[in-house]
Amino acid sequence: MKLARIETDDGVVEGTYEGDTTDTYDGGTLTADDGTTYEVGEDGDLIAPAEPGTFYCVGRNFAEKIDQMDYDIPDIPDWFIKPAVSLDHPETPIEYPSWTEELTYAGELAAVIDEECHDLDGEQEVKEALRGFTILNDLDALDQERRTARKAFDGSGPLGPVIETDIDPRDIQMTTHIAGEKRQDATTDWMIFDPYETIAFLSERYTFKPGDVISFGSPANPGLLEPGDDIEIWYEGIGTLRNTVVEPNEE
């Protein structure tokens, strides 16, 4: 089942989504809990499927990328945090920050927390705490010093398009295309720490709140973006997260 949110004239509506999530979101339908059906694109536009208070982002989690970047293999998950203001939506223009000259993308699988939880014990407890899985573009201003300056800025976390509730995250395909060129092509089977293991580990340290996001790192070939670039990040069984990079203040 796919969960989504749309922005209508009367506010945000959540529900189950039926329709294409790889090509265009318009033409799909969203059915709210009260049974009301909305036409996506006509009654409202698709927005990020969750509103995280915090993004917990794992790095150095794909062996191929570690070889590419000449990193050491970590003994435990290596993570950082993005704040709530990092959230951006599918199809929303990504404004190229004026203070960097090296903006990069990273196509990442991400889990969404469904209930407040802490110190989860094993895979089953993790599964029970999750709403499902979606896609994160972990934007990075590579020429800034330290991770917070590089990664924790406004709009640095495009998220969506939907949450898939019924998927095994440990062996699914993904690709990232930039301006039509394939830049990433991988499977989550290449992860060093699998998603359930990572969430259990982080839950020892943090109390997760509903809507919080945990992402699991990017495959090899994250690269530079330029204004005008279309970004398409596809994960098997979930769909495609699409955004376009624009100049500052360009609509």
Indicate which CATH number applies to the domain containing 197: 3.90.850.10
Total number of domains in the chain: 2
Contacts of 24 (CB under 8 A, 6+ apart): none
Can you give the residue range of the structural domain that contains 37? 2-46
* pLDDT tens per residue, range 201-238: 999 999 999 999 999 999 987 789 999 999 999 999 99
CA distances, 133 to each of 24, 165, 221 (Å): 19, 7, 22
**Token couple for 184:** 């990433």
Its pTM stands at 0.94
Closest CA to 133 of 179, 53, 201, 194: 194
Quick one: 42 and 52 in the same domain? no
| C-beta separation of 112 from 133 below 8 A | yes
Instruction: Report yes or no on 197 lying in a domain.
Output: yes
Q: Is residue 251 part of a domain?
A: no
For 153-198, the pLDDT digits (tens) are: 999 999 999 999 999 999 999 999 999 999 999 999 999 999 999 9
Same domain, 88 and 202: yes
- Residue 32, in any domain of the structure: yes
Distance in angstroms (rounded) separating the CA atoms of residues 233 and 107? 6
Instruction: Establish if 27 belongs to a structural domain.
Output: yes
Question: What's the burial of 93, exposed, middle or buried (CB within 10 Å: 0-12/13-18/19+)?
Answer: middle
CA distance 10 to 8: 5
